[in-house]
A = this chain, B = another copy of it.
Amino acid sequence: MTILTLHPDRLFPAEPTTRGIARALYAGVKDLPIISPHGHTDPSWFAYDQPFADPAQLLIVPDHYVFRMLYSQGVKLETLGIPTEDGSATATDGRAIWRIFAENYHLFRGTPSRMWLDWVFAEGFGIDVRLEAETADHYYDLIDAALKTPAFRPRALFDRFGIEAIATTESPLDPLDHHRAIRASGWTGRVMTAYRPDPVMDPEAAGFLDNIARFGETAGEDVSTFAGYLRAHRFHRARFREAGATSTDHGHPSAFTADLPRAEAEALYETVRSGKASAAEAELFRGQMLTEMARMSIEDGMVMQLHPGAFRSHNPSVLARFGRDKGADIPMPSEFVRNLKPLLDAYGNDPRLTLILFTLDEDTYSRELAPLAGHYPALRLGPPWWFHDSPEGMRRFRQRATETAGFYNTVGFNDDTRAFLSIPARHDVARRMDCGFLAQLVAEHRLEEDEAHEVARALAYDLAKAAYKL
């Protein structure tokens, strides 16, 4: 067995002077509350505060970062207990799943998953030996036992993690019962929803026509007209704001936007409602709706988030057997300069709009996103996203975006995760990497240390709170 320790200097630059500065900067931000303005935790956890299931169900089965890597090296998803679309059986023995994971833990060397998991093991559960085949059962027993204690209930963890506010993400089709239950419970943790209308805005979404029908019904609006459809959005946005939402989120294939004359938009909606929209018409509708969302954000103050650029469910065999979100979403080249122009022409200069941009195409950081955000008052840059939520990904983001967009056109960190236990680990990685980046600027006399302290705090706390109006 090998010792597991989290080194206090982890992720800081090795050069001693720079490391010393990084340590000092980090000391000033490490205990700041966590603002988690974008993520995918399950609000029912906080509503009902039930214990999490076994270690495998907590840490492996729902984490596509984890099973993706195992799958890439030949581990069958069935043996990891990933549920199937047709309900046919897969592994259910948490201990057996955990052993496979432990035997293959070396595959995660050099990945952020490894750092997050080690944090969960060491800080979360107090484990002091490394995960490997021979410690698999030790881990399983220890985590399983801990999960049965009150200290590992969701609300206890929420407090322990120092979460000041956390956003979940729901579709307009969601009744928001869990969020209502949270409020009704008297518990004071701040859990907000966010408005994610993809299922009713993307004509290519599964069940789109049914979705807009239900969307209209629950809003009490006739969605057979574009006007009624837009009113239904206003209704649901208001409903979400009542459940604490301060933001909307849009996961589109591209950053394409449009701002059609009203009659054309209405005709397009007709086509879309007929179920016969072509791929190009579907893209046009999504683009038009982003501009409509911007218009509504100007009215109601909700911050917009745009997450473009994933080829979803690239692997049809995995999709057919295991469904969506199984680690087979692959980034594509993204374009922002022409795609965002219609929306920006309309509202890019409007101080009432905040549009936060994310990308999976790092090439756009210095070429497109930083120049755009360094000019348009409405634009801000989200943190490195998904595959780039990683030490090297964060370093590249700061290196490429800062000189043109500065720090103040960015919005701090988002964890974007449903892996609740990893949230503090992820924020900690971000704080450490930002402090390391700032320490380098200080050590190279490109920024003064007193200013670096201010920026470190902004990146860890202030900017997220301000940008998301929390």
Residues of chain A from 350 to 402 with CB closer than 8 A to chain B in the complex: 351, 360-363, 366-368, 370-377, 379, 387-388, 390-393, 396, 399-400, 402
- Contacts of A208 on B, CB cut-off 8 Å? none
Bound complex: CA of A379 vs CA of B71, how far in Å?
11
How many copies of this chain does one complex carry?
Answer: 3
How distant is A430 from chain B, measured CB to nearest CB, in Å? Answer: 14
Which residue among A6, A316, A331 has the maximum number of chain B CB atoms within 10 Å of its CB?
A: A331
Inter-subunit contact A366/B371 (CB<8 Å): no
A86 at the interface (CB under 8 A from B): no
A190 at the interface (CB under 8 A from B): no
> Once the chains are docked, how many angstroms separate the CA of A51 from the CA of B250?
53
CB distance from A440 to the nearest CB of B (A): 7
CB distance from A155 to the nearest CB of B (A): 32
B106 and A408 contact, CB distance less than 8 A? yes
* Nearest CB of chain B from residue A8's CB, rounded to whole Å: 9
Tell whether A262 is near chain B: CB-to-CB under 8 Å.
Answer: no
**Interface: A325 (CB within 8 A):** no
User: CB-CB contacts of A91-102 with B at 8 A, as 1s and 0s?
Assistant: 000000000000
Q: Does A138 contact B (CB under 8 A)?
A: no
Which of these, B17, B73, B387, B406, contacts A14 with CB under 8 Å? Answer: B17
Q: Given A374-B68, A402-B111, A406-B69, are A445 and B9 also a contact pair (CB < 8 Å)?
A: yes
**CB of A328 closer than 8 Å to a CB of B:** yes
How many Å from the CB of A71 to the closest CB on chain B? 7
In the bound complex, CA of A373 to CA of B72 (Å): 7
Pair A11/B445 contact, Cβ less than 8 Å = yes
Query: Which residues in chain A, 137-156, are within 8 Å of chain B measured between CB atoms?
Result: none
Q: How far is B446's CA from A391's CA once the two chains are assembled, in angstroms?
A: 9
- State whether the Cβ of A349 lies closer than 8 Å to any Cβ in chain B: yes
A405 to B388 CA separation, bound complex (whole angstroms): 12
Q: Is B15 within 8 A of A14, CB to CB?
A: yes
- The minimal Cβ–Cβ distance linking A403 to chain B, given in whole angstroms, is 4
In-complex Cβ contact of A333 among B2, B335, B348 (8 A): B335
Separation in Å of the A361 CB from the closest CB of chain B? Answer: 5
Contact B403 A112 (CB under 8 A): yes
A392 smallest CB distance to B (angstroms):
5
Q: Which residues does chain B contribute within 8 Å of A311, judged by CB atoms?
A: 337-338
* Interfacial chain B residues near A368, Cβ < 8 Å: 330-332
Nearest-neighbour CB distance to chain B for A66, whole angstroms, equals 11
Nearest B residue (CB) for A350: B317
Check B366 against A110 for contact (C-beta < 8 Å): no
> Cβ of A455: which chain B residues have Cβ within 8 Å of it?
109-110
Asked if A226 lies at the interface with its beta carbon under 8 angstroms from chain B, I say no
Enumerate A34-75 residues with CB–CB distance to B below 8 Å: 68-69, 71-74
Produce 1/0 per residue, A310-351, CB < 8 A to B.
010011111000000001111111010110010011001101
Q: What sequence of 0s and 1s flags, for each residue 450-467 of chain A, a beta carbon within 8 Å of any chain B beta carbon?
A: 110011000000000000
Name A367's contact: one of B74, B338, B348, B360 (CB within 8 Å).
B360
Given the known inter-chain contacts A14-B18, A444-B10, please indicate yes or no for A370 contacting B344, CB distance below 8 A: no
Q: Which residues of B contact A372 (CB under 8 A)?
A: 314, 330
Which residues of chain B are within 8 angstroms of A454 by Cβ–Cβ distance? 106
Residues on the B chain within 8 Å of A331, using CB: 337, 367-368, 371
Q: Are B330 and A409 in contact (CB under 8 A)?
A: no
B residues in contact with A315, CB < 8 Å: 344-345, 348-349, 375-376
Query: Could you tell me the distance between the alpha carbons of A379 and B451 in the complex, rounded to whole angstroms?
Result: 43
Cβ-based interface call for A271 (8 A) = no
- Other contacts beyond A109-B406, A396-B399: 16, CB < 8 A: A9-B444, A13-B14, A14-B18, A68-B375, A72-B373, A73-B377, A107-B406, A108-B406, A109-B455, A314-B337, A314-B341, A317-B345, A317-B349, A332-B368, A387-B404, A393-B403
6 interchain pairs, CB-CB under 8 A = A2-B450, A10-B445, A107-B408, A110-B455, A115-B446, A392-B402
